[in-house]
Copies of this chain bind each other. A is one copy, B any other.
Amino acid sequence: MLGLIQDRPLLISSLIEYAGTYHGDVEIVSRTVEGPIHRTNYRNVNSRAKKLAQALGKLGVELGDRIGTLAWNGYRHVEIYFGVSGMGAVCHTINPRLFPEQIAYIANHAEDKYIFVDLTFVPLIEALAKELPNVKGFVVMTDEAHMPESSLDNLICYETLVEAEDGDYEWPVFDENTASSLCYTSGTTGNPKGVLYSNRSTVLHSFCVCTNDGLGVCNRDSILPVVPMFHANAWGIPYAAAMSGAKMVMPGAAMDGASIYELMEAEGVTLSAGVPTVWLMLLGHVKENNLKFSSMNRTVIGGSAAPRSMIETFVNDYGVNVVHAWGMTEMSPLGTTGNLLKKHDDLPEDEKIDIRLKQGRAVFGVDLKIADDDGNELPRDGVAFGRLMVRGPWITSGYFRGEGGDVIDDEMWFDTGDVATLDPDGYMQITDRSKDVIKSGGEWISSIDVENEAIGCPGVVEAAVIAVPHPKWDERPLVIAVKEEDHPVTREEVIAHLESTLAKWQLPDDVVFVDELPHTATGKLLKTKLREEYKDYKLPTA
């Protein structure tokens, strides 16, 4: 028997319609690419998103068509989010920091019909246009006065396009499972793969972000998402902000510490969100100039693990609560948040930091478990670690156009590729990537744990730990280290150092020294390369 409740779909358009109606004069403030600070509000964003939807309709954009963006965080990008998804098309945010050939691959794979670009990226588009035969036009997100000279003959001016319409438009109603947005994620191998969100998943995720136990976004907030709108929809913040009528402060292209800090103070920012690298820069600026945060009360750190010192600085020196969060593009992206619980109130500050250092607890909506290689669930004891698996109504069921094949198992679990522990309260801590973990005789050794200890050895500048095949144990750890200049540290010293903190079976079977370790473009250790290089390495124990 079904309930007798109205069959109203969960649509992204209802977010901006709500904000436009009930929080019409709440501001969206943007540092523009053109230069000045721009101020608009939800009433105008809703109205202009409707105009954009009208204009796209006239350009022949239909339900399900993909519309690309190459843009910073700014109000026009927000209008595109709502206008494109609201009309039933798919807002495809492209990361402009990728290599040009990757951008071309992605835009072609997505079959983008139009691409919206900030002025910054016009040269990029000019260089790539020939390789994008499906794109009918490029909409430059500026006004006529700032339209660039260009070799392209299919540039459209955003303001002219939008302001030609009258805004007399009702958001269409359609199946809530209709695709709304597309974001490609690049693994370390293979081509980038597209995650295709739906209206339903986006609205449900927004509810989660607005709950106190999510990120607690509300009308009292002024939010500065440093995380770009081309990274998993800026962690869903533009949608959640509209749902709750929170003010948004958009940094545009100016991502340095000074610019971000200035905006935060000028606009009474209460909440910000970004990756550790950005916060390092911001904290550097604040410390150097002896500043403080006068309005910010919490900051979300995600994307990679936040170092203890960063959390301590925010909390102890500046009184800013840190919400350590974890997620993935495949997860919309919110999976866990590191909010403290009421029962932690009376813990010493240091133990609170211990808890904040973990990646947090699953939000309601995300099922989460750790499992061994056979899929057996492992205990939530804070010690056992296994493959981190997730499931839920805002988690991908497969990549766009079937890339990567089946990605969920029979029970719908998605393997995150991370290896983690779960403690009895549900706090999750990532210990490794599953492809990096060393599987030694049925026991798993975290490569990251060993690396962190190895770096602590006097004379070691950097260290990578990888699995090397072993006839008896399947795999055993090998440390590949870079020596400090003029410091004659030896293999034996490194192992002796590790013996003080690691169990015997976790100790590396060998240590080799190199002049340099390979890294990815974003500075991460390129372990695939090391594994390839050392795949025939003969361990002394073998």
Report how far A200 CA is from B398 CA in the complex, Å.
24
A5 touching B394 by the CB < 8 A rule? yes
Identify which of residues 206-259 in chain A touch chain B, using a CB-to-CB cut-off of 8 Å: 207-208, 210-213, 216-220, 243-245, 247
**Interface residues, chain A, CB within 8 Å of chain B?**
1-10, 14-15, 18, 21-23, 25, 63-64, 90, 175, 177-180, 195-201, 204, 207-208, 210-213, 216-220, 243-245, 247, 339, 341-343, 361-362, 364, 391-400, 408, 412, 414, 425-426
Cross-chain contact B364 with A197 (CB below 8 angstroms): no
Q: Which of B90, B200, B220, B364 meets A1, CB within 8 Å?
A: B90
- 30 sample A-B contacts, Cβ–Cβ < 8 Å, listed by A number: A1-B178, A1-B196, A2-B198, A3-B178, A3-B179, A3-B201, A4-B195, A4-B396, A4-B400, A5-B196, A5-B200, A5-B396, A6-B395, A6-B412, A6-B414, A7-B397, A8-B395, A9-B393, A10-B204, A10-B393, A15-B364, A23-B341, A207-B208, A211-B211, A212-B220, A213-B244, A213-B245, A220-B342, A243-B364, A244-B364
Contacts of A219 in B (CB 8 A): 212-213, 339, 341-342
Min Cβ gap A402→B in Å is 9
**Bound: A180/B7 CA distance, A:** 16
B210 adjacent to A211 (CB under 8 Å): yes
Q: A212 near B218 (CB under 8 angstroms)?
A: yes
Shortest A87–chain B CB gap in Å is 13
Q: Are B207 and A22 in contact (CB under 8 A)?
A: no
CA of A90 to CA of B4, assembled, Å: 12
Instruction: Report yes or no: A63 in contact with B1, Cβ–Cβ below 8 A.
Output: yes
Assess the A397–B5 pair: CB atoms within 8 A.
yes
Chain B's nearest CB lies how many Å from the CB of A398? 5
Distance between A327 CB and nearest chain B CB, rounded to angstroms: 14
Given contacts A210-B212, A216-B212, A244-B212, contact A425 B10 (CB under 8 A): no
A426-B22 in contact (CB<8A) = yes
Could you say which residues of chain B place their CB within 8 Å of the CB of A393?
Answer: 5-10
Query: Within the assembled complex, what's the spacing in Å between the Cα atoms of A213 and B220?
Result: 9
Residue picked from A204, A211, A362, A400, most chain B C-beta under 10 Å? A211
Q: How many copies does the complex hold?
A: 2
**Chain B residues closer than 8 Å to A414, beta-carbon distance:** 6
Q: How far is the CA of A63 from the CA of B3 in the complex (A)?
A: 12
Distance in angstroms between the alpha carbons of A210 and B393 in the assembled complex: 18
Q: Which of B179, B211, B245 contacts A2 (CB 8 A)?
A: B179
When distances are taken between beta carbons in the complex, the residues of chain B under 8 Å from A178 are 1-3
A198 with B3, Cβ < 8 A, contacts A219-B342, A341-B219 known: yes
Separation in Å of the A408 CB from the closest CB of chain B?
7
Whole-angstrom CA separation of A213 from B399 in the bound complex: 35
With A and B bound together, what is the CA distance between A197 and B116 in angstroms?
43
**A200 contacts B3, C-beta separation under 8 Å:** yes
Is B244's CB under 8 angstroms from A4's CB?
no
Complex Cα gap A425–B22 (Å): 6
Q: How far is the CA of A487 from the CA of B342 in the complex (A)?
A: 59
For A21, A90, A412, the residue with the greatest tally of chain B CB atoms inside 10 Å of its CB is A21
Bound together, the chains give a CA A18 to CA B208 distance in angstroms of 14
- In the complex, how many angstroms separate the beta carbon of A194 from the nearest chain B beta carbon? 8
A245-B340 Cα distance, complex, nearest whole Å: 12
What are the residues of chain B within 8 A of A210 when measuring CB–CB? 207, 211-213
Contact B175 A408 (CB under 8 A): no
Nearest B-chain residue to A339, judged by Cβ? B219
In the complex the two chains form, is A6's CB within 8 Å of B213's CB?
Answer: no
Q: Across the interface, do A391 and B213 meet the contact criterion of CB distance under 8 Å? A: no
Identify the closest chain B residue to A23 (Cβ): B341
* A18:B412 contact, CB within 8 angstroms: no
Q: Give every chain B residue within 8 A of A196 (Cβ-Cβ).
A: 1, 3-5
In the bound complex, residues from chain B placing their C-beta under 8 Å from that of A396 are 4-6
Q: Name the distance in Å between A269's Cβ and chain B's nearest Cβ.
A: 13
Bound-state CA distance A5–B7 (Å) is: 20
- Given the complex, which residues of B lie within 8 Å of A398, measured CB to CB? 4
Contact B412 A3 (CB under 8 A): no
* Chain B residues positioned under 8 Å from A180 (CB to CB): 3
CA distance A66 to B177 in the complex (A): 31
Which residue of A90, A201, A219 has the most chain B CB atoms within 10 A of its CB atom?
A: A219
Q: Report Cα–Cα, A2/B175, bound state, in Å.
A: 8
Bound-state Cα–Cα, A44 to B23, Å: 42
Instruction: Compute how far the CA of A8 lies from the CA of B200 in the bound complex, rounded to whole angstroms.
Output: 11
Alpha-carbon distance A364/B220, docked complex (angstroms)? 16
Q: In the bound complex, how far is the Cα of B175 from the Cα of A156, in angstroms? A: 46
Find the B residue at minimum CB distance from A242: B364
The contact of A212 among B5, B22, B212, by CB within 8 Å, is B212
Nearest 9 pairs of A and B residues by beta carbon: A3-B198, A212-B218, A1-B64, A207-B207, A210-B211, A8-B393, A5-B201, A4-B196, A3-B179
